[in-house]
Structure 1
Amino acid sequence: MTTITLTKDSHKHPENYRIKLQDSTGVLGEDPKALKKIDNKLPTIKTSSNVAVIGAGFGGMATAIKTMKELKENDVRIFERHDNFGGTWYANTYPGCASDIPAVWYSFSFALTSNWTRVQPPQYEMEEYILRVAKEYKLKEKIRFNTSVDECLFDEDTGYWTLYAHDKNTGQKLEHKAKILVSCTGVLVHPMHLKEPGLENFKGKYIHSALWDHSVDFKGKNVVVFGNGCSANQVVPALLKDYQPASLTQIVRSKHYVMPPVPKILVMIYGLLRYTFFGLQLVRWFTVAVAESRFPLFRGEGPISRLVRWANRRMSVNYMKKAPKKYWDMLIPDYKVGCKRLIFDYGYIPALHDPRLKLTNERVDKVVADGIYLKDGSFIKADIIVACTGYDVPKSFTLPVKTSKGASLKTIWDEEGVGAYRTSLVKNIPNYFIVGGPNIGTGHASVVMSIEHGVDYYMKIAKPILQGKEKSVVVKPEAYDSWFKLIQSKLRESVFGTAFGGCTSWYADQKINFTVYPFSQIHFWYITHFPNYRDLVYNHYDKKNV
């Protein structure tokens, strides 16, 4: 166990802890040129490892670290499209970007931090923490940056994966063989761009929150922000406070429950107990306990669920009524609390009193060269348009994974819906694990904790393969199908973007919900630490099934 002490250099030089715009656009833009640049004239690089990990955010780092520490398997290779660790915390750098979950919980359990500057630290501080952990565990020795994985093929005769990739800077191709493939590519990755008529005619600056251009000068400009979800909740007060716009109009597209800031008692407890690793663990588990007590609001109509839902709605509405009264009707939801992701505030509601700010929920008629016409005929002058319009979540689940006998991850998910047994395994695709994949999200908990549970599950299942005792492992089709039906059935009874919840949400599409876990985190811990081996098939090197 390690206690991380931050230098706070990220506060002095935040620009050193964020991706360059040209690099993020090359990978995540509408036309990602870096992912298409392949030079067939250069010799193909051929490498191998026992474990191949795709992605170097929290998921990829946890997978590599725990594989080396707990499985004593050091032959690990990580592949990352960007040029540094961090995933979303490296790529998302918009003003105000911060962790909404307390960082003592939104961090690795084996690398707790004694000197966070805030309960919910800013992006650059989160990235500093991530880089500090990467250095502590010498992950640079295990990673290949600037590498786009184009296809992954499992040979069912040899029991090995081949990753076909290329260097996004030089175009040089790479072939990498591995026994185990772990995908840690994340979900909130690809920006969902604004789609309004006439946007192509706009002569000002257009920015998506996930592809922030820090060279843009907001001083004295008329700014329009689309959206009022988690990103907008952070962007709006940060722009008003630090960027000196002449005006800011926020176009509210839907309603969200905004919860009060994290209670000061957590700050006090952290201040008292942060000097030892054991003390930090106590603060962490206190945070877990408080958050887990909120879980009943997401499920059913039992007396406890209704009580917890009522208490949380009342807490949110009372807080939101600190906004100007003229905005109440367009901000305060009438659906069940939890149907959309809860927003934990530390600046948005107070910012609504700023005289430079105006909210409207009027629909857009058209965008023109110098602004926006609304359906009611009014005109909003705009020099800069900021799109806080979220992410294309389904695009994150289009992974190029296949087997030599014709199984295809894309085909399975296109035909049956996105899913994974215990959030990790997919039928007909051996030796393949997903960390931070389908249905791992929650409406109340830290995804980093969920990621660690997923890594623990992968290690238990993959251990016989890495020890050379078994050739491959795969989940039985009937177990996969049964799990998928159970998850979707329970989610239909929940509030997560359902008719029962009373709203539509990015949690789910019209067919299924592939983002949220319908049970408590205690339940998730249990199923990831006590595998049901009867649901799995291990294949010997002599090809006999057991």
Structure 2
Amino acid sequence: MDPKENESVYAPRAVRVICIGAGASGLLLAYKLQKHFAQVSLTIYDKNTEVSGTWHENRYPGCACDVPAHNYTYSFDPKHDWSTVYAGSLEIKGYFKDFCERYGLSNFIKTSHLVDHARWHEAEGEWEVKGLSNLGGERFTDRCDILIGATGYLNNWAWPDIAETDKYRGILLHSANWQSEVDLEGKTVALIGNGASAIQILPKIQKSARHVTNFGRSPLWVLPTIGSGTDATTQDQIERYRSVPGELLKRRKYNEAVMNSIYPIYLAESQLQADLRRDLTESMRQALQDPELEEALIPTFGVGCRRLCPDTGYLQSIKKPNVKLVMASVTGLTKNGCVDEFGKEYDADIIICATGFDTSFRPRFPIIGQGGRDLRDIWTSTDPECYMGLAVSGMPNFMMFLGPYSAVANGPTMASIEAQADYICKMIDRYQTEPIHSFQPSASAQSDFVAHVGQFMKKSVLTQHCRSGHKGHTSAGRIPTLWPGSTLHYLQALQEVRGEDWDIRHTGNRFSFLGNGISLAEFRPTSDTAYYIREHDDDTLPLTRRLRMERQIRVGSQPARELHRVNRPEVINLP
């Protein structure tokens, strides 16, 4: 009997994948699995009625991305007609919906399906996933070989720690659960928070509200925007990006180069930290020109300890006659408003809590892994342990996007998501082409990784005394859950799967993947069965990591730049 192709070396087997979440990460996973894999069935469950994750949920006034829109896209799927430099949430949601439709990804997605339980079954080597269909209210159960968490870390909005909320007779809102029917015109508003959401909200509501009291607990560094800031994109620019070859790519690469040149600001002793701190202090003083506001809002901690905020007009709005800044926590509500930590009362028709999200990473439902351990219990510690933001020891065949210690400080999240998607696909590929029962990071590799993060962070401004979501909204509550390095550093760290870091259990003989002794080339009649015979060494794939990296980053292809300094516009001659 002739040999069969499905018994050849590395022959793929059928694999079932379940992904929780249809935001930027889940959509990218669907795109890559559809493009690169056969015999992989994928189901994505999402609790919302539509795709796009946080951009579907967040719709407060002024809600926008703090990364230039041309760089808040997948690297291979640009959009030429963004309406502004920093696009609003509705437009970003439209980008992801369009991506989903263009590539037919809705075939994999079940919206209005809330997953509320997942359990690993060791004997079968599979996950059981349960949940609720929000449309019909019916329970569902599904099974898979590999479970992917793509819920992100900005989806569980957090109320401030305030007492007696039932006393308040006005309208109480959270920025992440905005009620568009609420009319702010002529109202007295209390805006709690002065972080990323609040600095977008204030310039919008200040124009219509009778008075706004903004409560903040911490100063913040306001960063001048890239390019023309929040200005609208002109039709001439849009047309040029659409019709002139390379024009949009030039803009995207410039933006990315600027972001990729600023990482040293996060190193406490760097010259760039000192330079930028001096420059930002001066620019904020020029914007505020008020000794009391300067004292309240210009930080004493390093630039980057708290998330950098692009200039949205917040500093100008805080000076308006109908705005008052109060640097104090809100500790309770009254019948007519709120009370600060000093006992002073403030009347408010509407209270807006722009207090962000629960960034503990703790899942909102049980994820029961090996030995009956719940990921919610594993991540109740001060420092949530995981392996490179991708996987957790004790959770076999479970991988995730944007886990602890994977967010990069100096660039768009999209670059990290793409690197993680590629890594996850490599693990799925290995599982599919080898007799693997289960895989998980080893406890020792995970422990060493988290220890390295802790040591690295001691050299950074991120551990200085500032309140940050990456420290659990405390000043020093935990090691910052950021990647210990730059965006480019993360991309290169994830390029290869370090097999020695993984505990892999096989079914039967681990070498059964060798099959019937025949290669794929011998089964494809149009293939080159002498592909390795060459006239010279073309060096298509260097054998060392360093040479592969140099080839990838195209060393020698760009004008020389000053190292560890912000690239200036003249480096790339943009109009």
TM-score by length of 2: 0.80
The amino acid of 1:526's aligned partner reads Q
Verify the 8 A CA contact 1:370 1:381 in the aligned structure 2. Answer: yes
Q: Provide the C-alpha distance between the structure 2 equivalents of 1:485 and 1:544, rounded to a whole number of angstroms.
A: 32
The amino acid of 1:327's aligned partner reads L
The amino acid of 1:504's aligned partner reads R
Q: Which residue of 2 aligns with 1:445?
A: 411
Verify the 8 A CA contact 2:19 2:42 in the aligned structure 1. Answer: yes
Q: How does 1:153-302 map to 2 (within 5 A)?
A: 153-241=119-207, 244-264=208-228, 272-275=240-243, 278-301=246-269
Listed one character per residue, the Cα deviations across residues 264-310 of structure 1 (whole Å, up to 9, x for unaligned) are: 39979976545468543333232222112110111242xxx1x2112
The amino acid of 2:184's aligned partner reads F
The amino acid of 1:281's aligned partner reads L
The amino acid of 2:325's aligned partner reads L
Q: Give how far 1:448 is off.
A: 1.3
Rate the CA distance shift 1:251–1:159 in 2: closer, same or farther, 3 A: same
Q: Give how far 1:410 is off.
A: 3.0
Verify the 8 A CA contact 1:186 1:396 in the aligned structure 2. Answer: no
Q: Provide the C-alpha distance between the structure 2 equivalents of 1:98 and 1:392, rounded to a whole number of angstroms.
A: 20
Rate the CA distance shift 1:278–1:171 in 2: closer, same or farther, 3 A: same
Q: Which residue of 1 aligns with 2:467?
A: 504
Q: Which runs of 4+ in 1 moved over 6 A?
A: 265-270
Rate the CA distance shift 1:194–1:173 in 2: closer, same or farther, 3 A: same
Q: Which residue of 1 aligns with 2:538?
A: none
Rate the CA distance shift 1:276–1:52 in 2: closer, same or farther, 3 A: farther
Rate the CA distance shift 1:275–1:178 in 2: closer, same or farther, 3 A: farther
SS of residue matched to 1:524: helix
Q: Provide the C-alpha distance between the structure 2 equivalents of 1:376 and 1:174, rounded to a whole number of angstroms.
A: 50
SS of residue matched to 2:461: coil
Verify the 8 A CA contact 2:121 2:127 in the aligned structure 1. Answer: yes
Unmatched tracts of structure 1, length 5 or more = 1-47
Q: Provide the C-alpha distance between the structure 1 equivalents of 2:279 and 2:36, rounded to a whole number of angstroms.
A: 42
Match among 302, 313, 317 for residue 277 of structure 2: 313
Mean Cα deviation higher: 172-181 or 389-398: 389-398
Q: Give how far 1:388 is off.
A: 0.9
Listed one character per residue, the Cα deviations across residues 186-205 of structure 1 (whole Å, up to 9, x for unaligned) are: 10111211333443311111
The amino acid of 1:109's aligned partner reads S
Q: Which residue of 2 aligns with 1:389?
A: 355
Q: Which residue of 1 aligns with 2:288?
A: 323
Verify the 8 A CA contact 1:53 1:183 in the aligned structure 2. Answer: yes
Q: Provide the C-alpha distance between the structure 2 equivalents of 1:278 and 1:228, rounded to a whole number of angstroms.
A: 39
SS of residue matched to 1:530: coil
Q: Provide the C-alpha distance between the structure 2 equivalents of 1:529 and 1:153, rounded to a whole number of angstroms.
A: 30
Mean Cα deviation higher: 163-172 or 113-122: 163-172
Q: Provide the C-alpha distance between the structure 2 equivalents of 1:416 and 1:396, rounded to a whole number of angstroms.
A: 11
Q: Give how far 1:250 is off.
A: 1.0
Verify the 8 A CA contact 1:147 1:165 in the aligned structure 2. Answer: yes
The amino acid of 1:163's aligned partner reads V
Q: Which residue of 2 aligns with 1:109?
A: 75
Q: Provide the C-alpha distance between the structure 1 equivalents of 2:372 and 2:244, rounded to a whole number of angstroms.
A: 53
Q: Give how far 1:362 is off.
A: 4.4
**Are 1:125 and 2:91 counterparts?**
yes
Number of residues of Structure 1 aligned to a counterpart in Structure 2: 490
**Are 1:360 and 2:360 counterparts?**
no
Verify the 8 A CA contact 1:67 1:73 in the aligned structure 2. Answer: no
Q: Give how far 1:520 is off.
A: 1.2
Q: Give how far 1:527 is off.
A: 1.7
Q: Provide the C-alpha distance between the structure 1 equivalents of 2:395 and 2:163, rounded to a whole number of angstroms.
A: 43
Q: Give how far 1:471 is off.
A: 3.0
- Rg larger in 1 or in 2? 2
Q: Which residue of 2 aligns with 1:535?
A: 501
Q: Provide the C-alpha distance between the structure 1 equivalents of 2:401 and 2:321, rounded to a whole number of angstroms.
A: 45
Match among 145, 149, 153 for residue 111 of structure 2: 145
Listed one character per residue, the Cα deviations across residues 448-496 of structure 1 (whole Å, up to 9, x for unaligned) are: 1111111111111221223464332222221111112112221233222
Q: Which residue of 2 aligns with 1:66?
A: 32
The amino acid of 1:177's aligned partner reads R
Rate the CA distance shift 1:379–1:471 in 2: closer, same or farther, 3 A: closer
Report the aligned-residue RMSD. 2.6
Q: Provide the C-alpha distance between the structure 1 equivalents of 2:381 and 2:300, rounded to a whole number of angstroms.
A: 35
SS of residue matched to 1:380: strand
Question: Identity of aligned pairs, percent?
Answer: 27
Q: Give how far 1:109 is off.
A: 1.2
Q: Give how far 1:367 is off.
A: 3.0
TM-score by length of 1: 0.84
Rate the CA distance shift 1:59–1:237 in 2: closer, same or farther, 3 A: same
Verify the 8 A CA contact 1:80 1:146 in the aligned structure 2. Answer: yes
Verify the 8 A CA contact 1:99 1:122 in the aligned structure 2. Answer: yes
Rate the CA distance shift 1:300–1:329 in 2: closer, same or farther, 3 A: closer
**Are 1:75 and 2:63 counterparts?**
no
Verify the 8 A CA contact 2:362 2:375 in the aligned structure 1. Answer: no
Listed one character per residue, the Cα deviations across residues 303-351 of structure 1 (whole Å, up to 9, x for unaligned) are: xx1x211222233222322124141111111111111000011221222
The amino acid of 2:252's aligned partner reads R
Q: Provide the C-alpha distance between the structure 2 equivalents of 1:512 and 1:397, rounded to a whole number of angstroms.
A: 18
